[in-house]
Amino acid sequence: MTIFARGSADVAKCFSRRLHASRTMSAAMSKFDPDVPLPYSKLRKNFDVVKKRLNKPMTLAEKILYSHLDDAKGQDIERGVSYLRLRPDRVAMQDATAQMAMLQFISSGLPKVAVPSTIHCDHLIEAKEGGTKDLARAISTNKEVYDFLASAGAKYGVGFWKPGSGIIHQIILENYAFPGLLMIGTDSHTPNGGGLGGLCIGVGGADAVDVMADIPWELKCPKVIGVNLTGALSGWTSPKDVILKVAGILTVKGGTGAIVEYFGPGVESISCTGMATICNMGAEIGATTSVFPYGGRMKKYLEATGRREVAAEADKNQDILIPDKGANYDRLVEINLSELEPHVNGPFTPDLAHPISRLGENAKKAGWPMDIKVSLIGSCTNSSYEDMGRVASIAKEAMKYGLKSKTEFHVTPGSEQIRATIERDGIAQTLREFGGTVLANACGPCIGQWARHDVKKGEKNTIVSSYNRNFTGRNDANPATHAFVTSPELVAALALAGTLDFDPRTQSLTTADGKKVKLSEPHADELPARGFDPGQDTYQAPPASGGNLKVVVDPKSDRLQLLDPFAKWDGKDLEDLLVLIKIKGKCTTDHISAAGPWLKYRGHLDNISNNMFIGAINIENDTANKIKNVLNGEWGGVPDVARQYKSQGKGWVAVGDDNYGEGSSREHAALEPRHLGARAIIVKSFARIHETNLKKQGLLPLTFATPSDYDKIQPGDKISLKGLAQLAPGKQVDCVIKHGNGKTTPIKLNHSLNQGQIEWFKAGSALNYMKQAKK
């Protein structure tokens, strides 16, 4: 600056201001957070400390995670053992979970969130007629909720993405994700951001409240599963096939307690949005999150989405954004992309993997409906410009031969930016001519927000989608719907055939005049040649100060309800707890707290509790939502019986099988049992997010020390949990089963509570404990 001191002082000041602004802009975390710098300098400082401590090659997951430690010098670090205290860079919430998260934050009494946070309105828009009409109806129907979220965001400093903006994970990828980011999001598919080299982790709303309240976020130190990609993608094989293959290898619980890290020479053959697809669906294998190393494809995407400065900073810090040579993985999976066959997974579970060459044969043997009723592309998993373009290339070629989709065909753009761009470039019109209906920029059928009328409930049928999750009843609330997940390209090909028994690589379609036509391999630009069209401005920034603003919740509302704190533990053992339900088989968070029409009650705990366990199968009668009230011998719905027990002061437990609580991050699956009188959940094993959610709400998540002890508990038994005054990390809980004949059976139960989480139990919930600590 001294060069200007001899000339014009005004010029020097102007240059100084511009230089400062340039530095601020180049270092900003996002254009929506201009005053929040990228954290690379802080991360590098922590990284250097941990690197010296560990003195070994590190995986990318370790580099990012440990660089966000609250105490890099003193934190105990042991994979699968230590509980890490972390400082995430930001928080993201979708509208269904944001309601409860913001209600909990309001209960904390804090004036403003401590880290950049956003709310995204994507879950409450029902697919029925088409994008424009569906969006207008949703805005009217959900006005009370949207007004609450917008006003709460303004008051507490949270950015608000209005209905129609798009799906949370696509918005994050386009605007907020960056290499090295640590973000938590109140949705299980938050790991989508791993496609841009960040550790983005799905959590419950109570975890989000911790971070927004400036409390270190706790995570059990994950193991790291490495997936070495060799070869290159080509032809009909797509990024989706990578995760479909991995799901078949690891199963729905194989990633539990671990981060899945992709590396190897094959990475550079995958687009940034393709990497996001792979990371997104890592939720289906139970992984804490998934991540790719920073490279050229990520840089191209950052630049295409207006973040050239972020890419430049990532280039400077590339050594902490890639794994070290010789890094150790707890498990290694090898996949040669050049040999990888396109896959279709399902039905009823996302890890039942079928190479396309065997799908028809497998379906016939299993007796699944062969004819496809509905084909669906898009969602947070596969709605990139490249995805839509590759489908359009198939559609264009087919229509040249007079062929169109033989099934209903629905298209869900992932964001307003994607919608506007595919409209401008003619892709959307091609998909309409193919037979498609373009839905709103929202989750829609992927999460059960689908007013489907082509089949009756209970009617067996098949649908194929490019979504991520296909549990029973997930998409349309019909337990007889056989849902399969695959790539958008295969969805289009199968829609043209109208049957599961079709492999576009080897088989031909028949035109109206009897001519045999074999489809060409799909192709499309990775990014739009003319750049992205941002579409409508749908973002509401919070004011600089919202202290004087009010957030009003009508006490008569059936959509929103302020929270009352749960009762503290009374210091006594839990004696003679009733067994509300013993669940048979798979029990996801969809079974515990259904979505679909119940989403409208996500902000009203008492009302949404009327869906508790209504999808879980009672082992006593192989029936959902029908259990015996042991107090009067009458049969009733699960929530009704639970309310009767609660009214009579009777605590209860639920008993479940393996991987209990897999699927969505919805903390309502923990809040509802707590609200209706549960004291403990006893299962063979838990999915990570749900186990944490139970702990946050003051419930005891317990696992059988001997898994076969599951068979010893019967629906009419009573459960006593002994020695709780001595509850300690690693110490088993004594359980006594009192049978109907008066006999008793002692068993041992395990838990993963650390000392801090035991304090949550004693206080009645993590939120209660946080309030206590503030006093």
Is 557 a known active-site residue? no
- pLDDT tens digits, one per residue of 180-227: 999 999 999 999 999 999 999 999 888 999 999 999 999 999 999 999
Q: Is the pLDDT of residue 134 over 90?
A: yes
Question: How much is the pLDDT for 93?
Answer: 97
Q: What phi and psi, each to the nearest 5 degrees, are found at residue 474?
A: -60, -45
Comparing C-alpha atoms, which of 328, 247, 242 is closest to residue 278? 242
Q: Is the pLDDT of residue 25 over 60?
A: no
- pLDDT tens digits, one per residue of 109-124: 899 999 999 999 999 9
Residue 30: which residues within 8 A CB-CB, separation 6 or more? 36, 116, 175, 176, 307
Instruction: Give the number of C-alpha atoms closer than 13 A to the C-alpha of residue 542, restricted to the C-beta side.
Output: 26
Is 123 a known active-site residue? yes
Domain assignments of the chain as residue spans, ordered by start: 44-338, 365-503, 574-774
Residue range 225-249: mean pLDDT, rounded: 98
Q: Is the pLDDT of residue 22 over 50?
A: no
Tell me the two tokens of residue 29. Answer: 């975390």
End-to-end CA, the chain: 50
Alpha-carbon gap, residue 381 to 170, rounded angstroms: 9
Task: Indicate the average pLDDT of the chain.
Answer: 94
Q: Is the pLDDT of residue 15 over 70?
A: no
Tell me the two tokens of residue 677. Answer: 């009188």
Q: Identify the CATH class of 574-774.
A: alpha beta
Query: pLDDT above 90 covers what percent of the chain?
Result: 92
Q: Which of 6-10, 149-153, 666-670 has the lowest mean pLDDT?
A: 6-10
Query: pLDDT above 70 covers what percent of the chain?
Result: 96
Question: How much is the pLDDT for 775?
Answer: 62
Is 424 a known active-site residue? no
Rounded to 5°, the CA angle 250-253-257 comes to 100
Alpha-carbon gap, residue 151 to 443, rounded angstroms: 23
Q: Are 468 and 489 in contact (CB under 8 A)?
A: no
Predicted confidence band of residue 470 (pLDDT cuts 50, 70, 90): very high
Q: Is the pLDDT of residue 6 over 70?
A: no
Predicted confidence band of residue 19 (pLDDT cuts 50, 70, 90): very low
Is 122 a known active-site residue? yes
Q: Is the pLDDT of residue 3 over 60?
A: no
b vs e for 480-513, b when ≥16 Cβ sit within 10 Å of the residue's Cβ?
ebbbbbbbbbbbbbbbbbbbbebbbeeeebeeee
Rounded to 5°, the CA angle 37-42-43 comes to 110
Comparing C-alpha atoms, which of 610, 613, 563, 616 is closest to residue 585? 616
Q: Are 321 and 179 in contact (CB under 8 A)?
A: yes
- pLDDT tens digits, one per residue of 702-716: 999 999 999 999 999
Comparing C-alpha atoms, which of 442, 380, 376, 60 is closest to residue 192? 380
Strand stretches in 531-677, DSSP E: 539-540, 574-582, 617-618, 623-624, 627-628, 635-636, 652-655
Residue range 615-622: mean pLDDT, rounded: 96
Alpha-carbon gap, residue 662 to 665, rounded angstroms: 8
CA 76, chain centre distance (Å) = 28
For residue 269, the 8-state DSSP code is G
Q: Does domain 365-503 have CATH number 3.40.630.30?
A: no
Residue range 3-7: mean pLDDT, rounded: 28
- pLDDT tens digits, one per residue of 285-339: 999 999 999 999 999 999 999 999 999 999 999 999 999 999 999 999 999 999 9
Alpha-carbon gap, residue 494 to 475, rounded angstroms: 19
Q: Is the pLDDT of residue 725 over 60?
A: yes
Is 187 a known active-site residue? yes
Question: Which parts of 263-307 fold into alpha helices (H)?
Answer: 272-280, 296-304
CA 381, chain centre distance (Å) = 10
Residue range 50-60: mean pLDDT, rounded: 97
Is 666 a known active-site residue? yes
From the candidates 87, 120, 410, 469, give the one annotated as an active-site residue.
469
Alpha-carbon gap, residue 119 to 411, rounded angstroms: 24
For residue 533, give the 3-state DSSP assignment.
coil
Alpha-carbon gap, residue 425 to 170, rounded angstroms: 19
From the candidates 30, 117, 379, 664, give the one annotated as an active-site residue.
664
Sign of the alpha-carbon torsion through 212, 216, 220, 223 = positive
Q: Which amino acid is at 276?
A: A
Alpha-carbon gap, residue 86 to 98, rounded angstroms: 21
Q: Is the pLDDT of residue 12 over 70?
A: no
Alpha-carbon gap, residue 645 to 37, rounded angstroms: 52
Q: Is the pLDDT of residue 351 over 70?
A: yes
H/E element, 336: strand 331-336
H/E element, 332: strand 331-336
From the candidates 33, 89, 122, 503, give the one annotated as an active-site residue.
122
CATH code at 44-338:
3.30.499.10
From the candidates 89, 95, 134, 187, give the one annotated as an active-site residue.
187
Comparing C-alpha atoms, which of 182, 198, 380, 383 is closest to residue 292? 198
From the candidates 123, 169, 419, 674, give the one annotated as an active-site residue.
123
- pLDDT tens digits, one per residue of 676-712: 999 999 999 999 899 999 999 999 999 999 999 999 9
For residue 190, give the 3-state DSSP assignment.
helix
Comparing C-alpha atoms, which of 771, 662, 685 is closest to residue 282? 662
Q: Which amino acid is at 230?
A: T
Tell me the two tokens of residue 138. Answer: 């949703």
C-beta atoms surrounding 125 within 10 Å: 27
Q: Are 106 and 565 in contact (CB under 8 A)?
A: no
Q: Are 345 and 353 in contact (CB under 8 A)?
A: yes
Alpha-carbon gap, residue 77 to 85, rounded angstroms: 10
Tell me the two tokens of residue 160. Answer: 């608000």
Are 44-338 and 574-774 the same fold in CATH?
Answer: no
Alpha-carbon gap, residue 47 to 251, rounded angstroms: 33
Predicted confidence band of residue 24 (pLDDT cuts 50, 70, 90): very low
- Sheet strand arrangement including 408-412: 353-355, 343-345, 481-486, 461-465, 372-378, 408-412, 436-438
Residue 247: which residues within 8 A CB-CB, separation 6 or more? 281, 284, 285, 345, 350, 351, 353
Q: Are 416 and 131 in contact (CB under 8 A)?
A: no
| DSSP calls for 115-178 | S-EEEE--SS--BSS-HHHHHHHHHHHTHHHHHHHHHHHHHHT-EEE-TTSB-HHHHHHHHT--
